[in-house]
Amino acid sequence: MPDLDSVVREISEEMAARADRGAVADYIPELAHVDPGRFGLAVIDADGRLSAGGDSETLFSIQSISKVFTLTLALGMVGDRLWKRVGREPSGNPFNSIVQLERERGVPRNPFINAGAIAVTDVILSGHEPREALGEILRFMQFLAQDQTITIDATVAASEKRTGFRNTALANYMRSFGVIENPVDYTLGVYFHHCAIAMTCRQLAAAGRFLAHNGRNPSTGHSVVSPERARRINAIMLTCGHYDGSGEFAYRVGLPGKSGVGGGILAVAPGRASIAVWSPGLDEAGNSHLGRIALERLTQRMGWSVFGA
């Protein structure tokens, strides 16, 4: 088996030098300032060893990657009742699409498109003040990454709130069907803020370790979810984690993964490693362009695709 440190170093060098970098998301004005030349990669293996390259210690906006963690929290709160409020099928549509909601009576296709994640956030919010719900989500991230320094970038959250017209439309539309139960402003406030959590590749790879090891962090011994639940979250990441680019991601990378418009991707190699990559330039589906290519190289060289060598 090739040496992981060398593979990570070589990939990071190749990615830093590439000219094709995709386009930085600009519908959230604050994200438009991020330098598209950045690239970071962090891999934490089953023994807790870190292999990292490039800008793996730079904070970036995790955006939709937070949806993996809000899904985990919501399942912990209401269990399988969650599936009355959100489906688990790929949508085949862009992440911010509204088209299916009318036909499907306001129930979003899956927890990783915006509508689905807003519905999941609404479940977490029920019975709490927005501030408490947000604190719960942030503390969960800090606990998973074993790092109290993780915070929310309030400027990014405010920037998205100012321009979040589509998300506001999605939330109001779902509210009209009773799929959203709390005041739309509250639910969206919590949603925009959890999307604005800032993390490094190293912190994110650490937070994802439970998904790679049957629901348990093998270093701390903390059991986060049952093995079945970890397997199912991974299944949804594989089928829905990259929106209408999910098929292509499975074809090329072959791992459960979740992307965010900040340019990050969290990927899970079951039994082997938790991986976080960041490159801010996106492809047409809104997924990190070089992030995907880097993961494709990594899984090919390490033989880590869940579909075989």
Interaction site with ligand GLN (CB under 6 A): 63-64, 95-96, 114, 160, 167, 195, 260-261, 286
Closest to ligand GLN by CB, 51 or 167: 167
> Which is the catalytic residue, given 191, 246, 274, 288?
191
- Annotated catalytic residue 12: no
Nearest distance from residue 153's CB to ligand GLN, in Å?
12
Compute the distance between CA of residue 260 and CA of residue 278 in angstroms, rounded to an integer. Answer: 10
* Residue whose CB is less far from ligand GLN, 69 or 95: 95
Q: How far apart are CA 30 and CA 10, in angstroms?
A: 31
Q: Please, which residue, 27 or 143, has the CB nearer to ligand GLN?
A: 27
Amino acid at 284: E
φ, ψ dihedrals at 43, nearest 5°: -125, 125
Least Å distance, CB 171 to ligand GLN, is 10
Q: Give the nearest distance from C-beta 117 to ligand GLN in angstroms.
A: 7
Q: At 20, phi and psi to the nearest 5?
A: -80, 115
Strand partners, 300: none
Q: How far is the CB of 147 from ligand GLN (least distance, A)?
A: 22
Beta carbons within 10 angstroms of residue 93's beta carbon: 15
What does the alpha-carbon distance between residue 147 and residue 20 come to, in Å, rounded to a whole number?
A: 34
- Active-site annotation holds for 27: no
Which CB atom, from 188 or from 225, has the smaller least distance to ligand GLN? 188
What crossing angle do the helices spanning 114-125 and 165-176 adopt, rounded to 10°? 60
- For the question of residue 243 being annotated catalytic, the response is yes
Q: Rounded to an integer, what distance in angstroms lies between the CA atom of residue 37 and that of residue 21?
A: 7
Annotated active-site residue in 51, 56, 61, 64: 64
Q: Which residue is nearest to ligand GLN (CB)?
A: 64
Place of tokens 């650490």: 206
Q: What are phi and psi of 241, to 5 degrees?
A: -70, -15
Specify the residue, 95 or 304, whose C-beta has the smaller distance to ligand GLN.
95
The amino acid that residue 78 corresponds to is V
User: Which helix (DSSP H) or strand (DSSP E) does residue 51 occupy?
Assistant: strand 50-54
CB of 165 to ligand GLN, least distance (A): 10
Considering 243, 258, 259, 274, which one is annotated as catalytic?
243
Catalytic residue among 68, 179, 261, 277: 261
Active site residue 191: yes
- 46: its two tokens: 């089953």
In the complex, minimum distance from the CB of residue 306 to ligand GLN, in angstroms, rounded to a whole number: 23
Task: Pick between residue 52 and residue 113 the one whose CB is nearest to ligand GLN.
Answer: 113
Shortest separation between residue 259's beta carbon and ligand GLN, angstroms: 7
Catalytic residue among 12, 24, 67, 159: 67
What's the angle, vertex CA 199, arms to CA 228 and CA 257, rounded to 5? 40
Q: Which is nearer to ligand GLN, 118 or 294 (CB)?
A: 118
DSSP state for residue 49 in the 8-state scheme: -
Q: Residue 111 carries which side chain, given as an amino acid letter?
A: P
Type of residue found at 27: Y
d(CA 187, CA 292): 31
Which residues are tagged catalytic?
64, 67, 191, 243, 261
